[in-house]
């Protein structure tokens, strides 16, 4: 019979809100990994990501690195500047196209990669160890779906 004086505002429950939960989880995990190498090697997360794709694909251009890392080209440009300066990445100019750079890890870059990659993998295993086999499979399947046509 009575109108409520205060309307129902239906506030979001952040702790059950998927985007929020994903954000917390993702940040926690990425930060844990980054803590392993940031101060120790003076290597930022963006730099590490660039190194990781160059470890997999030699000779990429900066634009291709940007595509593969899902970073924007400015971020890649800056990360590369530091990596080249630090002698971790070699940069040459593409033969038939002077705009394009041809990138690859240097000896030092490979050494660093071979130290950091196992740490990153170990952290991933720590996370996955919280799940059982079923859950791990579902998680993969779910991520495939959600990442598919974002």
Q: Does 74 interact with DNA (rule: CB under 7 A)?
A: yes
The three-point CA angle 93-79-121 to 5° equals: 110
Residue 33 corresponds to which tokens in the numbers above? Answer: 């990994």
Q: Does 73 interact with DNA (rule: CB under 7 A)?
A: yes
d(CA 9, CA 83): 50
Residue 10 corresponds to which tokens in the numbers above? Answer: 């239906």
Binding to a copy of itself (CB under 8 A) within 20-49 occurs at 20-30, 33, 49
62 binds, among DNA, a copy of itself, none (CB under 5 to 8 A by kind): DNA
Q: Does 39 interact with DNA (rule: CB under 7 A)?
A: no
Q: Nearer Cβ to a copy of itself, position 81 or 128? A: 128
Binding to DNA (CB under 7 A) within 119-148 occurs at none
d(CA 116, CA 89): 15
Using CB atoms within 10 Å of the CB of residue 14, give its burial: 0 to 12 exposed, 13 to 18 middle, 19+ buried: exposed
Among 70, 95, 98, 99, binds a copy of itself (CB under 8 A): 70
Q: Applying CB under 7 A, which residues contact DNA?
A: 44-46, 61-64, 71-78, 80-81, 96-101
């Amino acid at each position: 019979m009575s109108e409520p004086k205060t309307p129902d505002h239906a506030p979001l429950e952040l702790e059950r809100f998927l985007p929020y939960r994903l954000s917390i989880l993702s940040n926690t995990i990425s930060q844990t990994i980054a803590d392993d190498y940031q101060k120790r090697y003076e290597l930022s997360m963006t730099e590490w990501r660039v190194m990781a794709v160059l470890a997999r694909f030699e000779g990429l251009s900066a634009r291709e690195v940007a595509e593969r890392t899902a970073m924007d080209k400015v971020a890649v440009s800056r990360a590369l500047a530091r990596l080249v300066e630090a002698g971790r990445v070699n940069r040459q100019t593409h033969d038939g196209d002077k705009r394009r750079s041809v990138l690859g890890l240097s000896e030092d870059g490979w050494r660093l990669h071979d130290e950091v990659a196992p740490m990153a993998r170990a952290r991933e295993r720590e996370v996955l160890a919280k799940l059982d086999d079923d859950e791990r499979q579902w998680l993969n399947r779910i991520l495939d779906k959600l990442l598919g046509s974002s």
